[in-house]
Amino acid sequence: METITTVERLIKTYSGIYHQNKGVFSDALSNHRQEAVSVFESMGVPNKSDERYKYLDLTPWFDHTYGYTIQPEKLKLDSEQVFQCDVPRFDMHEIITINGFFHSHTKPHELPLGVWIGSLAKALQEIPEKVIPYLDVDVNLADSLVSLNKAVFRDGIFIYLPKNCNFHSSIQIINLQLAQDDMFVSPRNLIVLEGNSSVNLVICDHTLSQNKFLSNQLTEIVVKEGAQLDVTNMQNIHNNAGAINHTNIMQKANSRVNYTVLSLHGGMIRNNIAAKLDGVGADNSTNGLYMTDGSQIIDFNVLIDHAKPSCTSNQLIKGILDDTSVGSFNGKIMVARDAQKTAAFQKCNNLLLKDTAKVNTRPQLEIYADDVKCSHGATVGQIDPDALFYLRARGISKDEARMLLMFAFAHEIVQNIKFENLRFRIDEIVNKRLRKELTRCHNCQAL
Amino acid sequence: MLHIKDLRAKIGEKEILKGINLEVKAGEVHAIMGPNGSGKSTLAAVLTGRENVEVTHGEVWFKGKNLLELSPEDRAREGLFLSFQYPVEIPGVSMVNFLRASVNEVRKYNNLPALSSADFLKFMREKQQLVEMDGKLTGRSVNEGFSGGEKKKNEIFQMAMLNPALSILDETDSGLDIDALRIVSNGVNKLKTADNATIVITHYQRLLDYIVPDIIHVLYDGRIVKTAGKELALELEEKGYDWIKKTV
């Protein structure tokens, strides 16, 4: 009898999605898909021997039988499920995806000339010349799961803003996962901001059914000269759901990206964020906040590549970990030889609420230029007993004092969000999460 | 109001308080003086419920309640206030949120309704003027980036907000220039009534020129070794603590 290793079995299972659906995948990207599947087949699912996945064992997440849908679901959505994401007094253009497929715009709308907000699959058919040149953002990372996504994705979101377009409202992307049986999803998104355009994106990830999910999502972002992008991503999935989010960002001269990820809840969340600052004067802020409890796993992997001179970057990642949850931060700043006058900063602070919670931090600098300002640092600590006593000595209960201090710790991330009403809403959500009230939401009952 | 009977306490294995007896009545101002390491701050720590100090013997009664059985927050709600020697900086917790939480938790404990936002802000402005506290400071995080003088002023401002029955001022004069000292002392004196009491803990006589005590105690090696009227401060200033050390 022939024996097959887990590694081989996983390769066969996931590349099988591609091989079994070849007909469906013969689109404008057929060749790309074929190349990508070969890369995945040669590398397999990352394991702990891979430096970047040292602290995260993905095998149990992949070694499970999931369904994979190659057609969008024809579902009518309960409006309540959608509008729980509504931010008061905030002008939003809302779109919904289900299991990685574009589903709908929630309101009638008219888009300005040249703007595209909708399905990537549809855009590939209708305006391939606006899509294909921007795909495959190269951030100098070899990740087999990115290749897997490129091989088997069917749809996702495509946003295109032409030159000088300051989009009049924020765009909210509500990603829903909803299925009868355990499901693997693989959305691919592309966001293109042409020169001097700007937009604010709010992305909400939710699981609406209690079955197991594994998501392997790729989001590529191209921000051209002078363009400005704000992103706030709220990740709120149940404990039986895992999400691997690859976000690859290409920034040209004088562009600005402010990217905030709030990992509020989830069985396993891996955020790979890589930005290449590929033009003089580009500025990147990457902010992450995670709050974990139970046996949740959260893993942040950030790479900021300073390829050109006079760029600035700031990474601020903060975590509050309870119970036996595990967090990891692996952050790297690379400064190319010619990237003089770089200013790059990185900070990761963690609060452990119990001795059983754990965090791994690995800040790294790789600098080839000599005229740079760089710093990095990581801390792991407990709630400051002196601050706690000070608050209690003023009549504030121990629990409430702990809340105030945790909230203050988290607020350093939230305050980076530019838009006031959105910031208030997120403060509210963070506050609820710290009080463990979020788990009472109807979409998080699978606990 | 406060009765301390043969109080002994240790930090780790070291006995710091070796039998303190003290009685404070409403309307009185007591000063506790003594050289460094005599146990002054440990006494403040025991009274406010710091966890690193272990009481090994004795009793403390506050307004008829067994103080040592109360949590630090309940002691504060009962009307005990400590002006910290080293007020803690708490980045991210705004002064307004902190004070509102504090005032309303104390009110709740005393069966009073929470103040509305408007009433709270009005109340806060009144008290701010009392201690000549810069309005800009209340827009910041608790003590963050405050100068030494501003931190101490902030303590007295909180005291004004909470209107405690018994205030313990732990080395409130340390790190203050003469102007700040005057403002802080004025604040304390304005808050003085026939119904409340104050314990001033200080190393130097200087503060007692501004906050005049009724009774002065000298603490030395964990015991109160001398109790007298306000003239004792001058004698101490003149002769130094060595004089006390020799007499005991």
pLDDT tens per residue across span B219-237: 999 999 889 888 888 888 8
A259 pLDDT band (50/70/90 cuts)?
very high
> Side-chain half-sphere of B129: how many Cα atoms within 13 Å?
5
Q: Chain A residue with minimal CA distance to B101?
A: A396
Q: What is the mean pLDDT of residues B203-209?
A: 84
Contact, B181 vs B207, CB < 8 A?
yes
Question: What is the least distance, in Å, from the CA of A64 to any CA of chain B?
Answer: 43
Q: Is 0.80 topped by the overall pTM?
A: yes
The distance of A88 to chain B (nearest Cα, Å) reads 21
From A140, A397, A380, select the one nearest A274 (Cα to Cα).
A140
Question: Which residues of chain B form beta strands (DSSP E)?
Answer: 2-11, 14-24, 29-33, 54-62, 65-66, 80-83, 90-94, 141-142, 166-170, 197-202, 215-220, 223-228
Coil, helix or strand at residue A146: helix
Please, what is the average pLDDT of chain B? Answer: 90
- Residue B109, SS3 per DSSP: helix
What digits encode the pLDDT tens for the residues A73-129?
A: 777 776 555 556 667 767 889 999 999 999 988 887 889 999 999 999 999 999 999
Residue A2 is predicted with a pLDDT of 61
Q: Has residue B57 got a pLDDT over 70?
A: yes
Task: Give every CB contact of residue A323 below 8 A, 6+ residues apart in sequence.
Answer: A292, A293, A294, A295, A353, A354, A356, A357
B91–A398: do the CB atoms touch at under 8 Å? no
Q: What is the mean pLDDT of chain A?
A: 92
Across the interface, do A395 and B106 touch by the CB < 8 Å criterion?
yes
Determine the pLDDT at residue A445. 37
Cα–Cα dist A274/B158, whole Å: 47
Beta strands in A60-180 (DSSP E): 92-98, 101-105, 116-119, 157-161, 170-177
β-strand pairing of A116-119 with A157-161: antiparallel
Interface contact flag, B72 A392, Cβ < 8 Å: yes
Query: Looking at residues A292-316, what average pLDDT do you find?
Result: 97
Say whether pLDDT at A446 is over 70. Answer: no
Instruction: Please report, as a single letter, which amino acid is at residue A240.
Output: N
Candidates A385, A389, A411; nearest CB to B92: A411
| pLDDT-based confidence at residue B54 (cuts at 50, 70, 90) | very high
- pLDDT tens by residue, A149-198: 999 999 999 999 999 999 989 999 999 999 999 999 999 999 999 999 99
Q: Which amino acid is at A77?
A: L
pLDDT digits (tens, 9 = 90+) for B12-47: 999 999 999 999 999 999 999 988 888 999 999 999
Closest approach of A253 to chain B, Cα-based (Å) = 34
Select from B1, B7, B12, B40 the least CA-distant residue to B241: B40
Instruction: Catalogue the E-assigned strands of A178-223.
Output: 183-185, 188-193, 198-207, 213-223
pLDDT at A217 over 70: yes
- Look at residue B71 in the predicted model and tell me its pLDDT: 96
**For the ranges A133-147, A417-431, B136-150, the one whose mean pLDDT is highest:** A133-147
Choose from B48, B90, B127, B151 for mutation: most chain A CBs within 10 A. B90
Q: What is the complex's ipTM, to 2 decimals? A: 0.95
CB B20 within 8 A of CB B60: no
| pLDDT at residue A442 in the model | 40
Q: Mark out chain A residues that contact chain B at CB-CB < 8 A.
A: 384-387, 389-398, 400-401, 404-405, 407-409, 411-412
Q: What is the pLDDT of residue B155?
A: 93
Nearest CA in chain A to B87: A390
Q: Residue A250 pLDDT > 80, yes or no?
A: yes
Q: What is the spatial distance between Cα B150 and Cα B127, in angstroms, rounded to a whole number?
A: 15
- pLDDT (average), residues B142-146: 92
